[in-house]
Amino acid sequence: MICKRIAPAASVSSHVKEYLLLHMIFDRDAPAPVKAYPTNPEEGMTFQIVGNLYAECPELKLFEKRPKTYVFGQPDYRQNFHLTHEFMFVHVRFQPGALFQLSGIPMNELVHQGVDATTIFGKDIDEVDDRLANAPDYATIPEILDAFFLKQILRSKQKSQPFDKIGRLILTSPQRFDLAIMADHACLSIRQFENRFVRQIGITPKYFARICRFYQAYEMKEFNPGLDWLTVALHTGYSDYQHLVKDFKQFAGTAPNTLIEQSTQNPERRLNIATGFRGV
């Protein structure tokens, strides 16, 4: 079994942030594992190699089986992922805006959507799925994906521009987000800036910054349990604890301590294969 974050090859790192390789096997007599997955700042692809993933969205009262390989846009609600007793996948996290560059699809059309990857990348997906299923070892998997994404990058008609880095800047430092300053630096009006950001990321820059800040707070507490919530709130840019609670209720559907408790029951933690591992 494995739970590992893997950096992509330098040739694709402009578009791919990282790969998450996860392989878990549970006792079939035990309940199938469920993973708490709050709203987070990401877009990407998931290649299911063994088993199936079912996505539950309590707020929308949805429960659906995800395609074998699917592309997903910016999540907008809390999800619970239900896994089969043996499950192996590689989860591809793109750089903000990279999915737009690769697909040409306005990202506002993919907000909180998981669509079959063949509808975007065609039959190339079938070849990649087959190679992943027959990979001789874990180390071969990122090599297969590097080759696939390099091919897509070279084929893409959407070339990288300075504006494309804005999503990464907000992701890294959401506390410093200032809409007027960023629009001015991009030589765009505020409305033009927002419209372009929505097209490339899927949501407004202000909303994206809120999600980034929330997720920073969640990760900080999860991996530093000794910190009190007020310290976490102030360190991540909240004016007070109550504003942090408001975001947790919106993006996780529950109170801060409840989400942390639920996260301790995530499959990779139950199997003790995520020690020292951040951001699963």
Positive/negative CA dihedral, 130, 133, 136, 139: positive
Tens-place pLDDT, residues 91-121: 999 999 999 999 999 999 999 999 999 999 9
Amino acid at 239: S
Q: What is the pLDDT of residue 270?
A: 82
DSSP symbol at 97: T
Residues 6+ apart with CB under 8 A from 26: 32, 33, 85, 86, 267, 271
**Average pLDDT, stretch 37-62?**
96
Lookup: tokens for 76: 């907008």
Inform me whether the pLDDT recorded for 275 exceeds 90.
Answer: no
Tens-place pLDDT, residues 7-45: 999 999 999 999 999 999 999 888 878 999 999 999 999
Of 43-47, 119-123, 249-253, 272-276, the range with the lowest mean pLDDT is 272-276
pTM exceeds 0.85: yes
DSSP string, 104-117: ---GGGSTT-EEET
Q: Are 11 and 146 in contact (CB under 8 A)?
A: yes
**Average pLDDT, stretch 194-218?**
97
Beta bridge partners of 63: 56
Share of the chain above pLDDT 90, in %: 87
Task: Give the position of tokens 């505020």.
Answer: 190
What HEC string does 148-162 produce?
HHHHHHHHCCCCCCH
Domain ranges of the chain: 2-158
The CATH H-level (homologous superfamily) assignment of domain 2-158 is Jelly Rolls (2.60.120.10)
DSSP symbol at 136: S
